[in-house]
Amino acid sequence: MDVIWPTRHHDVDPVALHAADDRVVPAHPERSGGRPWVAVNMIATVDGAAADAWGLTGDLGGPGDRAVFSALRGIADIIVAGAGTVIAEDYGPSRPRSDIVAQRTARGQTPRPRIAVVSTSLGIDPGSRLFRDATDDARPIVLTAGRADPTRRRGLEAVADVHTAGDDHVDWPTAVDLLGTLGARVVLCEGGPRTNAGLIAHDLVDEMCLTIAPALVAGPATRIVEGPRPPEPRGLVLDRVMADDEGFLFLRYTRARSVSGASEPSASSTG
């Protein structure tokens, strides 16, 4: 895999590259300090499809995408995904490679990130692989709302740490702050589209990593974001472009210094 912009570097290690990036939440007049850095990682085809004909993302990627996927999980303290994504993709606990575990431990992180599922309905099966295969050191988290069904909540409380983050629905500023109290300095969101939309609506996305797959899907495929639009576009700055031998592009964007104009690239360790 090569970095092709802003400067060229051949045969880079995605794990080392992503671990070296600066991730400091910028000051914001309407945001309390100290919240975790929020990164989003998604894949889309050249024509904008966020999933294949069966509604899954796994077959869109290749070895390079899986390498970036692992690298980003390697720097995350908590991985967030909507219940629909967790069910459709049959999520299990994160299982980093031994070298990534060693690097995480050296940085003072837990050996593996925890998975946080977002669900107001709590319709996810407590017997699913995510909960069944979890270990005590990476117990799953469930983020839900106060109106959630109490019987379903009790069932999930037996296999996960269930937290309320809002009354009628999951409130994203509350949820992100809550993840910070659980020890997260970096939160990685893996979708789905409605989860991404919630973070964007509240201007909580600090980093957007997008894999462009060299494919055309057409049909009624979903986008990487589906939901109410914010009052104005959220500005981003292109920080880095990588490419692999199979024609995949790996784009890293960071929050613009001002939503009114994206001009300066962020300081990341690419050179």
Phi-psi region of 233 (alpha: psi -120 to 50; beta: other; left: phi over 0): beta
Residue 32 has pLDDT above 60, yes or no: no
Q: Is residue 82 part of a domain?
A: yes
Q: Is residue 232 part of a domain?
A: yes
Reduce the secondary structure of the chain to three states and give it as a string.
CEEEECCCECCCCHHHHHHHCCCCCCCCCCCCCCCCEEEEEEEEECCCCCCCCCCCCHHHCCHHHHHHHHHHHHHCCEEEEEHHHHHHCCCCCCCCCHHHHHHHHHCCCCCCCEEEEECCCCCCCCCCHHHHCCCHHHCCEEEECCCCCHHHHHHHHCCCEEEECCCCCCCHHHHHHHHHHCCCCEEEECCCHHHHHHHHHCCCCCEEEEEEECCCCCCCCCCCCCCCCCCCCCCEEEEEEEECCCCCEEEEEEECCCCCCCCCCCCCCCC
Q: How confident is the model at residue 265 (pLDDT cuts 50, 70, 90)?
A: very low
Give the residue from 65, 43, 74, 46 showing the smallest Cα distance to 192.
43
CB 104 within 8 A of CB 96: yes
Residues 6+ apart with CB under 8 A from 250: 1, 14, 64, 65, 68, 209, 210, 211, 212, 241, 242, 243, 244
Chain segment 121-148, per-residue pLDDT in tens: 999 999 999 999 999 999 999 999 999 9
| Residue 14 buriedness (CB in 10 A; 0-12 / 13-18 / 19+) | buried
Q: Is residue 266 part of a domain?
A: no
Residue 261 has pLDDT above 50, yes or no: no
pLDDT, mean over the chain: 91
Q: Is residue 49 part of a domain?
A: no
102 φ/ψ angles, rounded to the nearest 5 degrees: -65, -40
Q: Is residue 208 part of a domain?
A: yes
CB 112 within 8 A of CB 95: yes
Q: Is residue 28 part of a domain?
A: no
Q: Is residue 47 part of a domain?
A: no
Q: Is residue 271 part of a domain?
A: no
pLDDT more than 90, % of the chain: 82
pLDDT score recorded for residue 257:
63
Only one residue has tokens 């270990």, namely 135
pLDDT score recorded for residue 57:
80
Residue-range definition of the domain harbouring residue 202: 2-20+63-255
- Pairing relation of β-strands 141-144 and 161-164? parallel
- Tell me how many domains the chain contains: 1
CATH number at residue 68: 3.40.430.10
Name which residue leads in pLDDT, 267 or 106: 106
Residue 112 has pLDDT above 50, yes or no: yes
Please, what is the angle between helix 63-75 and helix 98-106, to 10°?
A: 30
Chain segment 153-211, per-residue pLDDT in tens: 999 999 999 999 999 999 999 999 999 999 999 999 999 999 999 999 999 999 999 99
Chain segment 49-59, per-residue pLDDT in tens: 998 877 778 78
Chain segment 216-229, per-residue pLDDT in tens: 998 888 899 999 88
